[in-house]
Amino acid sequence: MLKFSINERALVIERNGVAVYSVDPYKPSALEVGKGENTYKMSHGSFKISEQITERVKAKITSVFAEENSAVIETNYGKISLTVDGENLRADFEGFDGFNRMWLTLPSSADEFVYGSGEVFSEFNLKGKKANVWVAEHINALQIGKKLVKQVVGIKNAKKSQAFKNYETYYAQPTFISSKKYFFHSLCTARSELDFTADNVTVIKTDEIAPFYIGFGDSFEELLGNLTSIVGRQPELPDWVYDGHILGIQGGTDIMLSKIQTALNHNIPVNGAWIQDWEGRRVTAVGKQLFWNWEWDKELYPGLDEKIKELGEKGIKVLGYINPFLAVEKPLYKEASEKGYTVKNKDGEDYYVTITTFPAAMLDLTNPDAWEWIKNVIKKNMIELGFAGWMADFGEYLPTDCVLYSGEDPELVHNTWPARWAQVNREAVEEAGKLGEIMFFTRAGYSNTPRYSTMMWCGDNHTDFSIDFGLPSVIPAMLTLSCCGFGLSHSDVGGYTSFFNLKRSEELYMRWCEMNAFTPVLRGHEGLNPDLNAQHDASEAVLNHNAKMARLHKALKPYLKEAVKYNAENGVAVVRPLFFHYDEKEAFEEAHEYLLGRGILVAPVIRPNTLTREVYLPKDNWVHLWSGKEYKGGKITVNSPLGEPPVFIRKGAPVLEALKGAKNA
């Protein structure tokens, strides 16, 4: 437990009787404040940000006061109030008038590992890096263009990643956890930076004077429990989610039914069909996209309402798609625009944002009437239709030069947009009385997203094995989400972004399916250009592979349900870093293996044309799922043919017998 005391002239923060930090008025302050201004240029959700700092000064401490559970630090610019609740400390600020920048310096060490800043695809340990905490489009046209050119000229270095300084992410969060078993979380909504480049200090910069938390734990499970008491936790998933493969299907009612039947004929346990084009299809220069008008397209999907009921009787749920944009050619946009429900530009006109090749309007989620309107669209057009879930896409695109109904500064609202979007969806589900029956999954996020979303998916990955955008990138993405307090995540089987010679092979599809079988949800996606990509029914080999992986996922149901319940109650993720349970240097460094719950270690094959994988096993008693061979830890190389991904079970775990039965079926 934390408490405060005064030792001579210094304010001391104690944890279980041991001093963890002190604030001495006669020593240099760890807090600086200043003034600055950012300039933003957005293109297709990707941002270029330039900053001009006009003032930066130390906040000189003039006095300190303390009681056991609260303290006050007076400075020459304002007051900092500290309060403790168990293992968490909160800092609030008063005064500091005229300042809109804050730098907080925390002690660090060269051997410290740090993780977080939201969802990070290309890195895991961020020591030595500086993270820009700003919600944006992770995948952009420039990256794809460079990759396509390199492939044309024969350069295919799948292990090379882009410079971290150029990194953008759908899900940003001003949060990190340390190998020293503490976390930092800011309540800032403006842009922030987490600077881990120095050996001896960590510097947190926020573009506003904002409260923050620092929390502690004796274990990483306890630490995440304390963090998620602040950012929120996800509810348990619907029971049907675990019962097999949710097939990604597009093209209309007949195609949906045909593909489901083909899967069933090959003994694939099908628990869902995800039809993202239920509202209509838009064919653009970059692929088969969607018409963002959230009404059932009865020409493309005739009889869908009845088919949803019929499939439901067979245990097959149907899922849809929605995002916070509106297609400007369609009726819902006309209604929303006439009622003043859309984000405006500075001339008072609807603000159109370019999405790939077409414009779209944005719903203004600061307008209470617009909020209720889109929530009712979800309830009437999706839930009443019978959807058991949907992709709640986007949330990254709010421009900083727009005008909002609330009058709020868009620069302070931008990061919160995906969390607001998740909240709209959550309220619709709860008000319909369907929480626990419906699963919606989000791509973008910020603080509060863990509180409102029921599931994350790590998209929109390239359909390849590249380290920063392809199959391997999903693993650190899931792990960093876990470190930020979001405990339920998965990805599109086979990836999404496909273009020209960037296309999904059968091998990639099968390797991705192997990985996703050992996550909370096994769900496919046809991708941006379905005709370029191998799908779940690409060949007899792929269909049979799908059947095997779906059986394994279904066999994991009791195990996954227990892990999901543990996350809901304690805030400890289902997909976990190895160091959560093993205090070994290699466990802190490992970015491409993970623990599924407490008893399963998964090391997906992340390179093409590979039939073996080197695996690091922490010191424990492990049973290789496929051979039954036992290991006690260390680095090993295991055979990993298609259909036998490196999976290890802690000896004695009951789940081993269930998986043995499924793999041999």
Active site residues: 393, 396, 460
The DSSP 8-state label assigned to residue 2 in this structure reads: E
Q: Which residues, at least 6 apart from 126, have a Cβ–Cβ distance to it below 8 Å?
A: 114, 115, 116, 117, 120, 176, 194, 196
Length, in residues, of the chain: 665
As beta bridge partners, residue 90 has 83, 213
Strand order of the β-sheet with 61-66 is 61-66, 70-75, 78-85, 88-95, 212-216, 182-186, 172-178, 114-118
Question: What is the C-alpha separation between 275 and 294, in angstroms, rounded?
Answer: 13
The DSSP 8-state label assigned to residue 159 in this structure reads: T
Q: Which residues, at least 6 apart from 307, have a Cβ–Cβ distance to it below 8 Å?
A: 253, 256, 257, 318
Strand order of the β-sheet with 46-58 is 46-58, 31-43, 101-107, 201-206, 192-195, 130-133
Q: What is the 3-state secondary structure (H, E, C) of 303-341?
A: CHHHHHHHHHHCCCEEEEEECCEEECCCHHHHHHHHCCC
Token digits for 393?
A: 């896409």
Identify the residue whose tokens are 């996922």.
Answer: 553
CB 524 within 8 A of CB 313: no
Taking residue 153's Cβ as centre, other Cβ atoms within 10 Å add up to 7
CB 54 within 8 A of CB 230: no
CB 659 within 8 A of CB 556: yes
Largest CA distance in the chain: 79
Token digits for 556?
A: 């994991």
